[in-house]
Each structure stands twice: as structure tokens, then as C-alpha cells.
Amino acid sequence: METSKVKIGIIICHRYHTCAGGKCFRSFFNREGAFETYKNQDAEIAAYTTCGGCPGGNIEYAPEEMKKNGVTHIHFATGLLVGYPPCPYLEYFSKFIPEKYGMKVVFGTHPMPEKYFKTHSKLNTWDSKFFQEAILPSLADEQLRLKYD
């Protein structure tokens, strides 16, 4: 059975708008973190942008442009999960994008850095059912998290 190429669009938090994407691209190349799911698939990163700043105005338009360029999967960058505070709009966005654009939403990109994992664990940031599920793709193990500190 032939599978088609997965085209990925990454949306980052606007507070990190100067980020060059180094951790995201490294983890994609190594198929680590949330990109591990593509380890046996033909995949490429085809788009990269910010949310546009709170409350995420670019979320309304960026997926449409990405879809026109073949993007099938939107990854919300790990920074949206581990920033202080994590994005309060993620749950809404994860419903909006599939409904409006028919695209798959994945939480996370690179493995979360250990320093963020420790602090958020102490703060109980991710105690909700939503965040418990959302952090799973980028959670990784301690050894890998330390590589992304």
C-alpha cells in the first residue's frame, strides 16, 4: 500500500516569533518528540508561522494558506505547551482547525526541555485532562528532554 507524503505546518507562539525553529527542525530530522510518529513515513515540513499573538488571530487564516500548499497536519509547537503560561487557546484551536479546514492537529514538535518539564510539574500546570493528553507527543523521557534543554 502506497502512502502519500505527509506535509506538516508548524504554528509557534508569537512570543517566540524570533525563533529560528532549530529545535523543531532538529527533532523533525531525528524523528524525535511529536515527530517520532513519522519515523516510517515520507514527511516534510512545508510551512512555519506564528499564531499572530493572543488570541491567535493568525489561526483563522494560516491553515487555509498552508492547506493550499498541501499541508495535511498542523503541529502546535512545543513552546505553546511549555511557555509560561501555556497557550490558553489550544483546546479551542484543536477543534477549530479540523472543523474549518479538515486538517489533523498534533500537539508538540520537539521534545519538551527538561527544565520546563520540572517547573511545570511543580506548578501542576498540566493537571487538566486536556493538557495531560496534549503534552504526551512531546513528553519523551528525561534523557531526551535533557538534550533539548
| Model confidence pLDDT, tens digit, residues 89-104 | 999 999 999 999 999 9
Q: How far lies 83's CA from each of 20, 42, 88, 117, in Å?
A: 16, 30, 11, 11
CB distance 106 to 74 below 8 Å? yes
Place of cell 486536556: 130
Quote the pLDDT of residue 3.
59
Quote the pLDDT of residue 4.
85
28 Cβ neighbours under 8 A, 6+ residues apart:
8, 35, 38, 43, 45, 109
Three-state SS at 2: coil
The pTM of the full predicted model, rounded to 2 decimals, is: 0.94
pLDDT above 60 (res 139):
yes
Mean pLDDT of the region 39-54: 96
Q: How far lies 109's CA from each of 57, 90, 122, 148, in Å?
A: 21, 14, 23, 11
Q: Are strands 43-50 and 6-12 parallel, antiparallel or unpaired?
A: parallel
Residue (of 88, 80, 90, 92) closest to 116 by Cα position: 80
How many CA atoms does the CB half-sphere of 129 hold within 13 Å?
0
Instruction: Give per-residue pLDDT as tens, 50-80.
Output: 999 999 999 999 999 999 999 999 999 999 9
Mean pLDDT of the region 26-45: 97
pLDDT band at 1 (very low <50, low <70, confident <90, very high): very low
